[in-house]
Structure 1
């Protein structure tokens, strides 16, 4: 094939791949859930770190990664760096619709910006909702690509289990009383809602219903919608022992418990908001800047938990109906009272977007007694929500502002 003309494959055909970084692009007119599976010679993953999809966007070693936007999904694969016991990398997708409803799906294999191979999956008359599209596989020390186009019964969960991935069970359906309580709390935003902790699996599993942002997988893009609904951001941290429990007498941990007994570790969540019209504003309990949902900046702080004893923690709400008016929401937290040791607070921030898996990041990396944590930002990218994990720690508001160029003027304040 010429350098400028990609080779087109039919189902069952194969072609050599360069021993290099490649990208595989999956193009669909409708939304599909793409996934890649690194497989050993028995056709199974070695562990859950070999599954790459929207909820786990990098393999455990980072040599396969996923980036998706609207109806395009990209898998970036470093072929020379694949572990020796990985025999192939299978590429698949699933959908709530049948392939006939989805329509044709196109596949491109790229080296840099050059398209090497193309394939087209014809959806006419096909009733499957999941497809094993293709695979990169080793043959006599080299890598090759095969277009498979094999239908599979079931969705992402059975497809993943077919490749040996352990999938966590879905959270139980809440009781009628719990649902009523959630409705009441929604109607009274100044009272923190009672959050139900997710079930803890007995062994490590991939959870299709939760996205955890880490250093290795630090962002996720939520596709453009006309109305994202009410977006809720929760800051929670573990309760400390009661006053009648024995307290360590020495060291930083002892100081932390002492602070809690005398008033608790007070973590505060806040946000800096940049609107499309150029306006910038701040939301936080310090200074009683609670914001508004129905008018600019379309972000509101529900309440302030001074002790960490409220199981629901603290909540920020974002009016997703007005997302088109928002350029960026920058979420931060700081330790208002107590020893600034983030690892001991077990803090976690969870972003709840209607009809999307919860997105969480844990505040456990702070060192050097820095009380301020820049957590994450929600960026408007042509109508989509790009959630980016930050998790950087600072001496205070002014230092954090300077690092991210917000340009506010700061002075000391109290609640």
Structure 2
């Protein structure tokens, strides 16, 4: 059903259950989509219920976001929302351009059960409230809004009772940290993000490992430099599988199969950029899955001390990061993430499990190899 601006409908009248999906399609790079969980006063009462790129799920999983390059999909289980959350307002913002430039900007609920063309009602707004799902004595209702603010995200945050720091005009004040839309941080177990190609290919995909390069305490009371390695276990669509790592000097090849290359091995901690693996996204269709891991090669296995973080960057996509903020100090290898080719889309899932060696991680993600001992020399 096509809805008009200002229309209010009961979800049950539309044939929509409390478990449903809200999908927003947009046609402009740099548009950020969010769902604000508000209290009865229509204010932000709990930052954990602001769901966006940097916080893709509410604590109990009632709202889960799967962001793509031109689509944001929210899976809802409204009955799980705490009573303190009275409504969910779905918003779109852009740093520099009016949201009306994002045509098509369309909200759909459970497919075609409810459709709302937002962009046709907009002019110069850079932050827009598109629609809301809210509690009512008769049950959950859906309301269309299509209204916002020329001031952008800062005006939207203020409207919902949030605070922004004062900055000299004309620069708009920044949003508070919990509402950062500039990167995706996968913080929870099995949290996932899916990315579509923005052009003919994903371009150059860069995986970077960085860590606290201070010395670590050795077993006999001395100190030694921590040597942390980045590696990838890969499986191609044709069944070819292997590992890219400094151990055994299997650095790979960017221009030939497996189209993955370790840029080098930083054994001293002197390289400020950490370690980097490049994946040739022009050939991503030939890749089935990649298991990204970090290995403490030298130094006592103390993961809390590493402050390790793995980041993935590629052209036209938000940065994705996973922090190694959990630890098993009796295990030298951390299985950080699983990257899969799902019908041509790149899907990255937080793994964060610890193993004695690469074999356990590889077996866990379904890549079975014959392993032999190796060194860096």
Q: Equivalent residue for 2:239?
A: 278
Q: Equivalent residue for 1:230?
A: 204
Q: Equivalent residue for 1:23?
A: 21
Q: Equivalent residue for 1:212?
A: 185
Task: State the TM-score, normalizing by the size of structure 1.
Answer: 0.76
The aligned runs of 1:81-160 (5 Å cut-off) are 81-95=80-94, 98=98, 101-110=101-110, 116-121=113-118, 123=120, 126-140=123-137, 142-156=139-153, 158-160=155-157
Deviation at 1:409, TM superposition (A): 0.8
Q: For the structure 1 residues 211 and 72, does the alpha-carbon distance in structure 2 shift closer, same or farther, using more than 3 Å as the test?
A: closer
Task: Provide the C-alpha distance between the structure 1 equivalents of 2:362 and 2:338, rounded to a whole number of angstroms.
Answer: 13
Deviation at 1:89, TM superposition (A): 1.0
What secondary structure is seen at the aligned counterpart in 1 of 2:178? coil
The aligned runs of 1:349-364 (5 Å cut-off) are 349-364=310-325
Deviation at 1:411, TM superposition (A): 0.8
Task: Provide the C-alpha distance between the structure 2 equivalents of 1:47 and 1:116, rounded to a whole number of angstroms.
Answer: 30
Preserved contact between residue 133 and residue 147 of structure 1 (Cα < 8 Å): yes
Q: Equivalent residue for 2:265?
A: 304
Preserved contact between residue 100 and residue 120 of structure 2 (Cα < 8 Å): yes
- Say how many residue pairs are matched: 362
Task: Provide the C-alpha distance between the structure 1 equivalents of 2:251 and 2:116, rounded to a whole number of angstroms.
Answer: 53
Deviation at 1:351, TM superposition (A): 1.5
Preserved contact between residue 58 and residue 216 of structure 1 (Cα < 8 Å): no
Q: For the structure 1 residues 350 and 329, does the alpha-carbon distance in structure 2 shift closer, same or farther, using more than 3 Å as the test?
A: same
Task: State the TM-score, normalizing by the size of structure 2.
Answer: 0.83
Task: Provide the C-alpha distance between the structure 2 equivalents of 1:324 and 1:51, rounded to a whole number of angstroms.
Answer: 34
Task: Provide the C-alpha distance between the structure 2 equivalents of 1:334 and 1:235, rounded to a whole number of angstroms.
Answer: 11
Q: Equivalent residue for 1:180?
A: none
Task: Supply the RMSD in Å over aligned alpha carbons.
Answer: 3.2
CA deviation digits over 1:70-129, x for unaligned, max 9? 54432222222222222221112235665554435433333xx8x643333362784444
What secondary structure is seen at the aligned counterpart in 2 of 1:287? helix
Deviates more, 1:231-240 or 1:284-293: 231-240
Preserved contact between residue 165 and residue 205 of structure 1 (Cα < 8 Å): no
Q: Equivalent residue for 1:193?
A: none
Q: For the structure 1 residues 122 and 290, does the alpha-carbon distance in structure 2 shift closer, same or farther, using more than 3 Å as the test?
A: closer
Q: For the structure 1 residues 94 and 256, does the alpha-carbon distance in structure 2 shift closer, same or farther, using more than 3 Å as the test?
A: farther
The aligned runs of 1:7-406 (5 Å cut-off) are 7-18=1-12, 20-28=18-26, 32-69=31-68, 71-95=70-94, 98=98, 101-110=101-110, 116-121=113-118, 123=120, 126-140=123-137, 142-156=139-153, 158-165=155-162, 204-215=177-188, 218-225=191-198, 226-240=200-214, 255=218, 258=221, 261=223, 263-367=224-328, 369-406=330-367
Task: Provide the C-alpha distance between the structure 2 equivalents of 1:157 and 1:323, rounded to a whole number of angstroms.
Answer: 38
Deviates more, 1:372-381 or 1:273-282: 273-282
What secondary structure is seen at the aligned counterpart in 2 of 1:131? strand
CA deviation digits over 1:217-268, x for unaligned, max 9? 7221222132433322121221335xxxxxxxxxxx8546946x2x322211
Task: Provide the C-alpha distance between the structure 2 equivalents of 1:384 and 1:157, rounded to a whole number of angstroms.
Answer: 32
Deviation at 1:307, TM superposition (A): 3.9
What secondary structure is seen at the aligned counterpart in 2 of 1:147? strand
Deviation at 1:35, TM superposition (A): 1.3
Q: For the structure 1 residues 166 and 362, does the alpha-carbon distance in structure 2 shift closer, same or farther, using more than 3 Å as the test?
A: farther
